[in-house]
Structure 1
Amino acid sequence: MFDIDISELSRRSGVKASALRFYEEKGLIVSTGRRGLKRLFAPETVERLSLVALGRACGFTLDEIAGLLGGADIDRDRLRAKATQLDKRIEQLTRMREGLRHAADCTVPVLTDCPHFLRIVKAAGHHRRRYRAEAL
């Protein structure tokens, strides 16, 4: 299979060329050479970019993703910790979804008069404060 230029890689992956150049600087992808002024990449780079996108969606930084894709031993404890963070976020999002559904279906004329809705709001505020504290 022939190498593809940066514009084709961008089209296939949905990642802007400027981001691809940045990813190359960070060591996430590697060009195989140049055709004129355009960088060339192996076609498999599209799959590697999918892994980068997955890592970003999971909340990893680009430096963390570079470490995971670097070929060295994978820090499995870090993966488990990220999975635990995702579990907490999923729980929070589930509560938020249920709160929105309750708000949409609640028969109380003024939502702030609904005790169930007020509990949801209070819980959301509590989780936001805790999330900020964990981020610091």
Structure 2
Amino acid sequence: MDIAEVAAQSGVAPSALRYYEKIDLIRSTGRNGLRRQYDPDVLHRLALISMGKTAGFALDEIAAMFRLTPTLELPRAEIAARAAALEEEIARLETLARMMRHVASCPEENHMDCPRFRTMLRASQRAQTRS
């Protein structure tokens, strides 16, 4: 596959593909004229890179994972820890969204007169002091 085809199928810009190759995230198999050529398996690797970036891993962290073994055995403990951190963040954001929905629809003119709002406010303050 040439670089244009990989870019079209993966949604990754050719400039990003060249950068990924520079930092050893992917490898081209050669050139056809000036165009880099890639093995079709590069699409799997690009999907893993995208998933890692979405999960919050930096490119250098992803590159380090890829260098661990040639068969791409990912560090399960590190990934499990990141998943746990994402779950904690999701729970925090869901709580924040519930609080904001209540603030937006609270029947009290003054939010401080609302017992539910005050309870949520105290819970939010406690959560911030734990962080």
In structure 2, what residue type is equivalent to 1:19?
A: A
User: Which residue of 2 is the match for residue 36 of structure 1?
Assistant: 33
Select between 62-71 and 84-93 the one with higher mean Cα deviation: 62-71
1:8 has 2:5 as partner = yes
Residue 105 of structure 1: how far off its partner (Å): 2.8
Q: Distance in 1 between matches of 2:112 and 2:16?
A: 45
Aligned pair partner of 1:56 in 36, 53, 56: 53
Percent identity at matched positions?
38
Aligned to 1:76: 76
| Alpha-carbon separation, structure 2, partners of 1:36 and 1:118 | 68
Which sits farther off after the overlay, 95-104 or 114-123?
114-123
- In structure 2, stretches of 5+ residues that fail to align are none
CA RMSD of aligned residues (A): 2.7
| TM-score after normalising by structure 1 | 0.74
1:97 aligns with 2:97: yes
In structure 2, the partner of 1:21 is 18
Q: Evaluate the alpha carbon distance shift between residue 18 and residue 117 of structure 1 in structure 2; reply closer, same or farther with a 3 A threshold.
A: farther
Give per-residue Cα distances to partners, 1:43-82, cap 9 Å, x unaligned.
2211211110111111111121122223526433322321
Please point out which of 37, 44, 47 is paired with 2:44: 47
Pick which of 114-123 and 4-13 moved more. Answer: 114-123
Gap change, CA 1:98 and 1:35, over 3 Å in 2: same
Q: What is the distance in 2 between the residues matched to 1:26 and 1:113? A: 57
Greater shift, 73-82 or 38-47, is seen at 73-82
Relative contact order, CA 8 A, sep 6+: which one is greater? Answer: 1
